[in-house]
Amino acid sequence: MSFTIFEPATARLNRSELAVPGSRAELFEKAANGNADVIFLDLEDAVAPDDKPQARKNVIEAINDLDWGNKTLSVRINGLDTHYMYRDVVDVIEQTNGRLDVIMIPKVGTPSDVYAVDMLVTQVEDAMGREKRIGFELIIETALGMANVEANATASKRNESLHFGVADYAASTKARMTTIGGPNPLYGVLTDMDGDNPRDFHWGDMWHYAISRMVVAARAAGLRPVDGPFGDFKDADGYRAQANRAAALGCEGKWAIHPSQIDLANEVYSPSEKEVTQAKRILEAMEQAQKDGQGAVSLDGRLIDIASIKQAEVMVRKAAEIANAG
Ligand code: COA
Ligand code: MG
C-alpha cells in the first residue's frame, strides 16, 4: 500500500440512481416508493428554462413532505455558468428539513467549480446551524471535466462520487453520435482482407477510455464511480449490456432515466449468489493457505493469492451492504 491513504467516501448503496425532472411533481411519489438506491431530483437539463423557479419549489416541497425511506436523496443543481445555480443551492438547503443527502453538480470543469459550491453550501449550512454535511456527486461530462478528473475528484471533502454523463460528454468532445449512451456503429474495426472470405465488423465500446479514466480517478480518491444514462428505455437488453460493461470496469451503479431501468441496475450491480459463494470459498482457501504459511495456492485449478482476498472481500462486503439495506 502507498503511504498516502484517501479515506473512502460516506458508504452508500449506489446501484441505481433514478433521474426525476423537478418540473414533473407527479413523478416524485412514484420515485420515493420505488426501488432506486439513489434519487436525484433534477433542476438542470430535464427542466425547461421557464419552469426552473417552479421546479425548485416542487423539489423543496417534495424533500420536506414525502417519505423517502432509506433512499439517498439528491438534487441536481444548475451549472455554474447559469444564474439559477446560487438560488438552487441556497433555497434548497435553507428551505428544507435536513433530509437532503447530496447535491449533484453538473458539468464540473475544474476544482474551482467544486470549491465554489462547497463555499456556498458551507455558508448556508453554518448559517442554519446544520450538523449534517451535504455530500457532492460530480458529473464528469465535458472535455474540461475529464481533463481535470483527478483534481476534480479531490477538490472537496464533500465529494462522494463521479458520474459519467455520456450525452454531454459526446457533445463536448464533438463525438459523432446523437443517442444517449449505447454503442456507436461507427466505432469498430473491420477484420483484414483474406482473399474472398467475408470480413467481420467488430463493434467496440467508444466509452471505454472515458469510463476507465473516471473509474481510476474516483477509486484513487475513495469515491464511487457511477455510469450515467442509457436513453433507449425500451431496450432492457441494451441497458443490461451497458451496465455490465461499466460494472466490469469498476463502476458501482448506473443511472435510470425511467423506472423500468431501476431493477435492471440493482440486479447488475448486486453480486450474484454464485459470485458471493465463490468469493467466500476463496476467503476460506486463503485462510487455510495462510495457516499453512503459503501466499499463493490453487483453487479449482486456478491461482489465488493475497490479491484474491481483496477482490473476494469487495464482493462479500457489497453483498452484506445490500442485505443490511433490506
Ligand atoms: N421517475 C419516476 N416515475 C417515472 C419516471 C421517472 N423518471 N419516468 C416515468 N415515470 C412513470 C410515469 O409517470 C408512468 O407512471 P404511471 O404508470 O403511474 O402513469 C410510468 O413511470 C411509465 O412511464 P412512461 O409513460 O413509460 O414514460 P413517460 O412517457 O411518462 O416519460 C421520459 C418518459 C423519458 C420523458 C421520463 O421517463 C423522464 O422524464 N425521465 C427522466 C429524464 C431525466 O431526468 N433526464 C435527465 C437525466 S439524463
Ligand atoms: Mg448532462
Return the best residue to mutate from 23, 258, 260, 263 for the ligand 1 pocket (most ligand atoms within 8 A of CB).
Answer: 258
Nearest ligand 1 atom, CA 42: 44
- Cell numbers 433514478 correspond to what residue? 18
Where residue 255 sits, what CATH number does that domain have? 3.20.20.60
In this structure, are 308 and 264 located in the same domain?
no
In this structure, are 211 and 238 located in the same domain?
yes
* pLDDT tens digits, 85-101: 999 999 999 999 999 99
In this structure, are 231 and 312 located in the same domain?
no
Q: Whose CA is nearest to atom 36 of ligand 1?
A: 258
Q: What is the model's pTM?
A: 0.95
Decide if 293 is inside a domain: yes
- Return the number of other C-beta atoms located less than 10 Å from residue 175's C-beta: 17
In DSSP notation, 267-311 reads HHTS--HHHHHHHHHHHHHHHHHHHTT-S-EEETTEEE-HHHHHH
In this structure, are 218 and 321 located in the same domain?
no
Decide if 222 is inside a domain: yes
In this structure, are 210 and 249 located in the same domain?
yes
Decide if 8 is inside a domain: no
In DSSP notation, 89-123 reads HHHHHHTS-S---EEEETT--SHHHHHHHHHHHHH
**80 - beta bridge partners?**
none
Average pLDDT over residues 252-263: 98
In this structure, are 188 and 301 located in the same domain?
no
pLDDT class of 325 with cuts at 50, 70, 90: confident
Counting the structural domains of the chain, the total is 2
Q: Which residue, 270, 285, 300, sits at the end of a domain? A: 270
In this structure, are 87 and 187 located in the same domain?
yes
Residues in Cβ contact with 310 at an 8 Å cutoff, skipping those fewer than 6 apart: none
Decide if 9 is inside a domain: no
In this structure, are 164 and 59 located in the same domain?
yes
Nearest ligand 1 atom, CA 31: 2
Q: Whose CA is nearest to atom 31 of ligand 1?
A: 258
Question: In the predicted model, is pLDDT for residue 110 greater than 80?
Answer: yes
Q: Whose CA is nearest to atom 8 of ligand 1?
A: 258
Q: Which domain holds residue 289?
A: 274-325
Average pLDDT over residues 201-225: 97
To 5 degrees, how large is the angle CA 92–CA 93–CA 95?
70
Quote the percentage of the chain above a pLDDT of 90: 95
Question: In the predicted model, is pLDDT for residue 31 greater than 90?
Answer: yes
In this structure, are 176 and 207 located in the same domain?
yes
Decide if 258 is inside a domain: yes
Q: Which residue, 270, 287, 313, sits at the end of a domain? A: 270
In this structure, are 49 and 160 located in the same domain?
yes
Residues 38, 45: contact at Cβ < 8 Å? no
Question: In the predicted model, is pLDDT for residue 326 greater than 80?
Answer: no
| The predicted structure's pLDDT at residue 309 | 92
* Dihedral angle sign, alpha carbons of residues 271, 264, 134, 64: negative
In this structure, are 161 and 76 located in the same domain?
yes
Decide if 3 is inside a domain: no
Return the best residue to mutate from 30, 39, 45, 66 for the ligand 1 pocket (most ligand atoms within 8 A of CB).
Answer: 30
